[in-house]
Every structure is written in C-alpha cells, then in structure tokens.
Chains A and B, each alone.
Chain A
Amino acid sequence: MRLYEFEAKQVIAKFGVPLPKRTMARTAEEAEAAATSIGGSVVLKSQVLSGGRMKAGGVLFAETPAEAKAAATTILALTINGLEPTGVLVEERRKVVQEYYAAVTWDGRAKSPLIIFSDMGGIDIEEVAEQHPEHLSRTHFSNLRPFSDYIAKVAVSSVGVTGNELGALTRIVSALARAFLQYDMTLAEINPIARLEDGTIIALDSHMDMEEEARGSQRALLTELAISDDETRQARPPTPFEIAGGQVDASDPRGVAGRVVEFDGNLGLIIGAGGGSLTLFDAVRAAGGRAANYCEIGGNPSVGKAAALTKLVLSKPGVEKIAVMMSVVSNTRADMMARGVVLGCIEAGKDPAETIAIFRVPGSWEEEAVKILQKYHVEYVDRTVSLFEAARRAVAKLGGS
C-alpha cells in the first residue's frame, strides 16, 4: 500500500529525520496561505501515487504566495498517469549542494532487509547502479535482531562519506531502517537527501510502500495518517474484472482465490502457492505468452470458490485457454483444485480437455487429482516438470513459442 509523499514524511519525521518546513494544501487558497506562512521561495508538489511528477509538470516553484496559488491551481487540475492529485505539498525551497539516496527494501533472494545508499541522489538509482556502482552500497541486516546504528554507518561509509556528513546521514538512514521495520514497509526511500549550503542535511522527498497485509496490525499508524479502510491505494482503480475477482475471494472464507489483476492476453491463469504466482506469471512471459490475468490461489479454497474464479477468468473476452499451475503445495489439495477448475470450465460451457492448457499442481492429494483429470482428459504434469516448462507447454498450445 503506497503512501503519499506527505504521509511518508510524517512517518520519517516521527523518527527524527530533518525535513523542510512544509504544509499539505487541498486547495489553491490553502497553498497560498501555506506559502505565506512558510515565507520566501517554495516548491509545490503534486500529491499523487505515481512517479514522474517532475516530468509531468506536477512539481512547480513559486517566489510569492500569489505564484504559489497559481501553481497549485495548475497542479490540482493535472492528472498524472491517470491519477488525480489528493492535494499539493507546499515546502520551503532550499539550495542544495549535494544529493544522496537512501532506501530500505526487502531482498527476497537474501531473505533479509537491505539498505541501499548512494552519494549520487536525485537521479534514477538503477542508472547509478549500472553506471557508477562504486557510488552505491548494499547492506543487508537482520529483521529479527534489534537494529543498530552501526549498520547504517557501514552503509553510508561504504561509498566514502566521512566526517560530519557521515554522522548526519547515518542518523537519517538509521531512522529510515527503523521506520521500515516498525511499520511493516516493503519500501522506505528518501531521494534525495540533500546537503544544503550551510552543511545541514535534510530529506527532500520520500516514498513508502507498506505491506498490504499489515493494514490490520498498523491500524494505529493508518488512523494517525487519516487513511481509511476503503482506500485501496492501488496504482490505478480496479477494473470490473478485478472487482469481481475480489468478490469471488470474499464469497467464501476458505483459502484464497482472487487477488486478480487484469492484463490483455489470451492465456487465463489460475496460479499460486507461496510466491508461485509471480514466478509463474514471469514464466508465461518468458515463454512468449500473453497472460490475461494475474491471480493468487492457495490455502485450500473451496471447490466452489476455485470454480468461480475459473469461470471469471474464462468470461474475460479473448481468453482462449487457462493454465492451472502452482509450485509444490502442501496447504492446498490438488484434487480440490482439479474439481474446482473442471467444474468451472463445465459451468462456463467449455470442455475442460480443450480449455485447460495444462494442470500442474503437485502436492497433497495429487493422486486423487490425477484420477479426476484423467476422467476429463485434461493434460497434467507432476513436479518433475518445472514451472517454466509447464508454462512453455501452455503457451505452445496457444500457438506461442
């Protein structure tokens, strides 16, 4: 769940990160009053859940309150990547001598949090990593043991920062890591951190993503930020297909069969299992396939729920076949999945043998699943066939590679 910049700054401010004077404005008049209160030159930034604000004209400067009002009027009317701003953040404009980058995110491969720090902030960090790797440090730390400032110091000093800046930047990076851990973030980023002419170091922009599943446990923070339960904070509004997927999932408390994301391909996906959905989606793309949807299924959904998701995917215009694929599952019964997808096909008026391009759900009750699939002449594979090979075979049935 993404936070707006002004919310992310509220979070890091709680940890003592120095920030410019700022006021969130919902109207041009409020922006004018904010500029008056702050005094001097200000920057006005669209509060929208999208990157590319500067290029889109969502960041403007003003020297007077009247200019700030005019700039806010422009920004509030500006849609960026299809998203309307929730307001304008008015901040004092500071002269920057040097910019730094700091982020804390989760490294799935290392299975631990990771601090990324660079003394080349303000630009695309991927570009820094590629073209100036000596200016970027990656420092893993434990999410089980208490966080130590020393870890932040290692991250900052690794790119050659010394002296007073090392101390100031260490405090900021340490605060960012603590915010990441305390509030179940998946990404906590400050870009840029700025060194000003007087040597002060402050955070100029911040981006945070909170783990969606943490909404319950982080209710106190969300209340403090005035984020209501019905704010989905997705990058775009859900499509009717995605809303229907959510309704399928909510229709029965047993297991998960939903979290649908719509794409424009011709291969419907019924996929899941412990991160398997993402891997399988990638596998379909790697095989040259065009997925019609992403979804997550697992945790032993009922037969009816699996069937309803199958029918939903098959109802999508352009879907020719579905691939039912999971990594090895112990918490989802293969036979119940087989019943669900076969039932879904039949209730959708389709022949399971023709419609299910491949069934790969190895794991518990697999032998029973095989009996069902054999009866309905559905092609299935076991765990000796990799996820990527299964995806390739499914794509091939649609005339792909």
Chain B
Amino acid sequence: MAMFIRVDIDEALQAETALHKRLVEVCPVDIFAVDGARLVTVEKNLDECTLCDLCIDASGDKVKVVKLYE
C-alpha cells in the first residue's frame, strides 16, 4: 500500500484505449500499466511519483494524483 501518493483513474478513461498507451509512455516512473483492456496503476511504483503532472496533461484531467500527506 503506497504511503504518499494515490493515483485515481477516471472510469471514463477506460474507454479511451488510445490514451492507455500514452499514459504508460509518459510516466517516468512506470506508474501505469495495461491489464487486458483496463488501465491500472502499479502499486509498488506509486510512491516514486515525481509529481510531474505529465499524466494529468496527457489524460485531460482524467487522472488525479493525490498527495496522501496533505
């Protein structure tokens, strides 16, 4: 269980499969992965999130990065 960062994926994004690959590509610390037809987060990498916002920009705000320490 990540201690510092949670990443929420808007359910609407699951239908946009073209975006899945884009999100996997843009994240510098491999937080996203494709599991079947679904975009999922990789639990062990969540705390490595650099808060770069690339995923937010790429998804059009359909991804939320939550700082658990705030």
Contact surface of A with B, Cβ cutoff 8 Å: 302-304, 333, 335-336, 339, 342-343, 346, 368, 371-372, 375
Task: Report the separation of the CA atoms of residues A339 and B49 in the bound assembly, to the nearest whole angstrom.
Answer: 11
Known contacts A302-B48, A303-B48, A343-B47, A371 near B3 by CB under 8 Å: no
Interface string of B35-54 (1 = CB under 8 A from A): 00000000010011011000
Interface pair B67/A342, CB less than 8 Å apart: no
Task: Report the separation of the CA atoms of residues A129 and B48 in the bound assembly, to the nearest whole angstrom.
Answer: 52
Residues of A within 8 A of B70 (CB): 371
Residues of B within 8 A of A304 (CB): 44, 47-48
Residue of A nearest to B45 (CB): A304
Interface pair A346/B3, CB less than 8 Å apart: yes
Task: Report the separation of the CA atoms of residues A336 and B51 in the bound assembly, to the nearest whole angstrom.
Answer: 10
- Quote the shortest CB–CB distance from A268 to chain B (angstroms): 21
Interface pair B69/A372, CB less than 8 Å apart: yes
Residues of A within 8 A of B4 (CB): 303, 339, 343, 372
Task: Report the separation of the CA atoms of residues A375 and B4 in the bound assembly, to the nearest whole angstrom.
Answer: 11
Residue of B nearest to A307 (CB): B47
Residue total for B at the interface (Cβ-Cβ under 8 A): 11
Residues of A within 8 A of B67 (CB): 368, 371
Interface pair A343/B3, CB less than 8 Å apart: yes
Contact surface of B with A, Cβ cutoff 8 Å: 3-4, 29, 44, 47-48, 50-51, 67, 69-70
Task: Report the separation of the CA atoms of residues A368 and B47 in the bound assembly, to the nearest whole angstrom.
Answer: 14
- If over half of B's interface residues share one DSSP class (helix, strand or loop), that class is named, otherwise mixed; here it is loop
Interface pair B47/A303, CB less than 8 Å apart: yes
Interface pair B3/A342, CB less than 8 Å apart: yes
Task: Report the separation of the CA atoms of residues A375 and B68 in the bound assembly, to the nearest whole angstrom.
Answer: 10
Residues of B within 8 A of A335 (CB): 51
- If over half of A's interface residues share one DSSP class (helix, strand or loop), that class is named, otherwise mixed; here it is helix
Interface pair A368/B48, CB less than 8 Å apart: no
Residues of A within 8 A of B69 (CB): 371-372, 375
- Quote the shortest CB–CB distance from B65 to chain A (angstroms): 12
Residues of B within 8 A of A371 (CB): 67, 69-70
Q: A302-B48, A375-B69 are in contact. List 10 more A-B contacts (CB 8 A).
A: A302-B29, A303-B47, A304-B47, A333-B50, A339-B47, A343-B3, A368-B51, A368-B67, A371-B70, A372-B4
Residue of B nearest to A304 (CB): B48
Task: Report the separation of the CA atoms of residues A336 and B69 in the bound assembly, to the nearest whole angstrom.
Answer: 13
Residues of B within 8 A of A333 (CB): 50
Some 10 contacts from A to B, beta carbons below 8 A apart, are A302-B48, A303-B4, A304-B44, A333-B50, A336-B50, A339-B4, A343-B3, A368-B67, A371-B67, A371-B70
Residue of B nearest to A372 (CB): B69
- Quote the shortest CB–CB distance from A173 to chain B (angstroms): 51
Task: Report the separation of the CA atoms of residues A333 and B44 in the bound assembly, to the nearest whole angstrom.
Answer: 20
Residue of A nearest to B29 (CB): A302
Residue of B nearest to A333 (CB): B50
Residues of A within 8 A of B50 (CB): 333, 336
Residues of A within 8 A of B29 (CB): 302
Residues of B within 8 A of A339 (CB): 3-4, 47
- Quote the shortest CB–CB distance from A374 to chain B (angstroms): 8
Task: Report the separation of the CA atoms of residues A371 and B69 in the bound assembly, to the nearest whole angstrom.
Answer: 7
- Quote the shortest CB–CB distance from B40 to chain A (angstroms): 19
Task: Report the separation of the CA atoms of residues A303 and B44 in the bound assembly, to the nearest whole angstrom.
Answer: 11
- Quote the shortest CB–CB distance from B29 to chain A (angstroms): 8
Residues of B within 8 A of A343 (CB): 3-4, 47
Task: Report the separation of the CA atoms of residues A329 and B69 in the bound assembly, to the nearest whole angstrom.
Answer: 22
- Quote the shortest CB–CB distance from A43 to chain B (angstroms): 59
